[in-house]
Chains A and B, each alone.
Chain A
Amino acid sequence: MEPNEIWLLAMWGLSILLLVVFLYGFYRKYRLANLGVQESRWDKMGERVKSFFVFGLLQRRVVKEPIPLLFHTAIYLGFLYLLLSTTLVFVQMDFGINLLYGDTCLWATLLADLAGIVVMSGVIVAAYRRYISKPTRLERRKEDAIALALIFLIVFTGFMAEGVRILNGDPGPLCRTSPGGQPMDDAAWSPVGVALAWFFEVLSLQGETVWGVFWWVHLLLAFAFIMYLPYSKLSHIFIGPLNTFFRSLRPKGALKKMEIKEDAEVFGVQKIQEFTTKQLWDLHACMECGRCQDNCPAWQTDKPLSPKKIITDLREHLYERGKVLLKKSGEGEEVPSLGGNVVQYDEIWACTTCGACQEHCPVFIEHIDKIVDIRRAMVMMESNFPNEMNPVLRNMETQFNPYMVGNDTRADWAEDLGIKKLSADQDVEYLYFVGCTASFDDRNKKVATAFAKIMKRAGVSFGILGTEEKCCGEPLRRMGNEYLGQMMITENINVFKKYNVKKIVTACPHCFNTLKNEYPDFDGKFQVIHHTELLSDLMKKGKIKTSKKLPAIATYHDSCYLGRHNDIYDQPRDALEAVTSGQLKEMKDNKWKGFCCGAGGGRMWMEETLGSRINETRVQQALDVKADTMATACPFCLIMLGDGIKAKDAEEKLDIVDIAEMFESAMEK
Chain B
Amino acid sequence: MMNIIVCVKQVPDTAATIKLDPTGKSISQENITYVLNPFDEYAIEEALQTKEKFGGEVTLVTMGPDRAEEALRTGLAMGADKGIHITDPQLAGTDFFGTARVLAAAIKTVPHDIIFCGKVAVDDNAGQVGPQIAELLGIPQVTAATKVEIAEGGASAKVNREIEGATEVLQTSLPAVITAEKDLNQPRYPSLPGIMKAKQKPVQKMTLADLGLNPAEFGSGASKFEITSMAMPSKREGGRIIQGDLPVAVRELVKLLHEEAKVI
Measuring CB to CB, which residues of chain A are less than 8 angstroms from any residue of chain B? 260, 262-265, 267, 379-383, 385, 387, 390, 393-395, 398-399, 404-409, 467, 483
Interface-side segment among B9-17, B49-57, B141-149: B9-17
Provide the main secondary structure of the chain B interface.
loop
Per-residue contact bits, chain B 19-43, to A (CB 8 Å; 1 contact, 0 not): 0000000000001010100000000
Query: What residues on A are CB-neighbors of B186 within 8 Å?
Result: 387, 390
Given the known A-B contacts A398-B33, A398-B35, are A404 and B15 also in contact in the complex, defined by CB atoms under 8 Å?
yes
> Which residue of chain B has the shortest Cβ distance to A484 in the bound complex?
B192
Query: What residues on A are CB-neighbors of B196 within 8 Å?
Result: 262-263
Q: Is B193 an interface residue (CB 8 A)?
A: yes
The distance in angstroms between the C-alpha atoms of A306 and B185, with both chains bound, is 33
Find out whether the CB atom of A407 lies under 8 angstroms from the CB atom of B16: yes
> Which residue of chain B has the shortest Cβ distance to A262 in the bound complex?
B196
> Which residue of chain A has the shortest Cβ distance to B74 in the bound complex?
A397
The distance in angstroms between the C-alpha atoms of A261 and B206, with both chains bound, is 33
Per-residue contact bits, chain B 186-219, to A (CB 8 Å; 1 contact, 0 not): 1111111101100000000000000000000000
The distance in angstroms between the C-alpha atoms of A408 and B186, with both chains bound, is 29
Find out whether the CB atom of B16 lies under 8 angstroms from the CB atom of A382: no
The distance in angstroms between the C-alpha atoms of A267 and B13, with both chains bound, is 28
> Which residue of chain B has the shortest Cβ distance to A483 in the bound complex?
B192
Find out whether the CB atom of B195 lies under 8 angstroms from the CB atom of A406: no
Find out whether the CB atom of B31 lies under 8 angstroms from the CB atom of A408: yes
| A-contacting residues, B141-159, CB 8 Å | none
Find out whether the CB atom of A383 lies under 8 angstroms from the CB atom of B191: yes
8 closest residue pairs by CB, A with B: A406-B16, A380-B192, A383-B189, A408-B31, A398-B33, A398-B13, A383-B188, A406-B17
The distance in angstroms between the C-alpha atoms of A161 and B16, with both chains bound, is 84
| 12 pairs, A vs B, C-beta closer than 8 Å | A379-B189, A380-B192, A381-B192, A383-B191, A385-B189, A390-B189, A398-B16, A398-B33, A406-B15, A407-B31, A408-B17, A467-B31
B18 to chain A, nearest CB (A): 9
Query: What residues on A are CB-neighbors of B15 within 8 Å?
Result: 395, 398-399, 404-406
Find out whether the CB atom of B189 lies under 8 angstroms from the CB atom of A393: yes
Find out whether the CB atom of A406 lies under 8 angstroms from the CB atom of B192: no
The distance in angstroms between the C-alpha atoms of A264 and B196, with both chains bound, is 9
> Which residue of chain B has the shortest Cβ distance to A394 in the bound complex?
B35
Query: What residues on B are CB-neighbors of A407 within 8 Å?
Result: 16, 31
Find out whether the CB atom of A483 lies under 8 angstroms from the CB atom of B195: yes
Query: What residues on A are CB-neighbors of B191 within 8 Å?
Result: 380-383
Query: What residues on A are CB-neighbors of B17 within 8 Å?
Result: 406, 408-409
A491 to chain B, nearest CB (A): 14
A640 to chain B, nearest CB (A): 23
> Which residue of chain B has the shortest Cβ distance to A263 in the bound complex?
B196
The distance in angstroms between the C-alpha atoms of A240 and B191, with both chains bound, is 38
The distance in angstroms between the C-alpha atoms of A572 and B189, with both chains bound, is 40
The distance in angstroms between the C-alpha atoms of A262 and B17, with both chains bound, is 34
The distance in angstroms between the C-alpha atoms of A131 and B174, with both chains bound, is 69
The distance in angstroms between the C-alpha atoms of A636 and B189, with both chains bound, is 26
Query: What residues on B are CB-neighbors of A394 within 8 Å?
Result: 35
Which listed residue (B16, B188, B189, B190) contacts A399, Cβ 8 A? B16
The distance in angstroms between the C-alpha atoms of A49 and B184, with both chains bound, is 60
B123 to chain A, nearest CB (A): 14
Which listed residue (A265, A399, A483) contacts B13, Cβ 8 A? A399
B235 to chain A, nearest CB (A): 14
The distance in angstroms between the C-alpha atoms of A262 and B197, with both chains bound, is 9
In addition to A380-B192, A408-B16, 4 A-B residue pairs with Cβ atoms within 8 Å of each other are: A379-B189, A385-B189, A390-B187, A398-B15
Query: What residues on B are CB-neighbors of A265 within 8 Å?
Result: 193
Query: What residues on B are CB-neighbors of A382 within 8 Å?
Result: 191
Find out whether the CB atom of A406 lies under 8 angstroms from the CB atom of B189: no
Residue among B16, B190, B192, B195 with the most chain A CB within 10 A?
B192
B248 to chain A, nearest CB (A): 27
B34 to chain A, nearest CB (A): 8
A22 to chain B, nearest CB (A): 45
Query: What residues on B are CB-neighbors of A393 within 8 Å?
Result: 189
Residue among A264, A385, A394, A395 with the most chain B CB within 10 A?
A394
The distance in angstroms between the C-alpha atoms of A265 and B194, with both chains bound, is 11
The distance in angstroms between the C-alpha atoms of A399 and B17, with both chains bound, is 11
> Which residue of chain B has the shortest Cβ distance to A404 in the bound complex?
B15
Query: What residues on A are CB-neighbors of B16 within 8 Å?
Result: 398-399, 406-408
Given the known A-B contacts A407-B16, A409-B17, are A399 and B33 also in contact in the complex, defined by CB atoms under 8 Å?
yes
The distance in angstroms between the C-alpha atoms of A265 and B191, with both chains bound, is 11
The distance in angstroms between the C-alpha atoms of A399 and B14, with both chains bound, is 10
The distance in angstroms between the C-alpha atoms of A527 and B190, with both chains bound, is 36
The distance in angstroms between the C-alpha atoms of A398 and B33, with both chains bound, is 6
Residue among B31, B188, B190, B191 with the most chain A CB within 10 A?
B191
B209 to chain A, nearest CB (A): 34
Query: What residues on A are CB-neighbors of B195 within 8 Å?
Result: 483
Query: What residues on B are CB-neighbors of A406 within 8 Å?
Result: 13, 15-17, 31
B68 to chain A, nearest CB (A): 15
A382 to chain B, nearest CB (A): 7
The distance in angstroms between the C-alpha atoms of A408 and B16, with both chains bound, is 7
The distance in angstroms between the C-alpha atoms of A291 and B228, with both chains bound, is 69
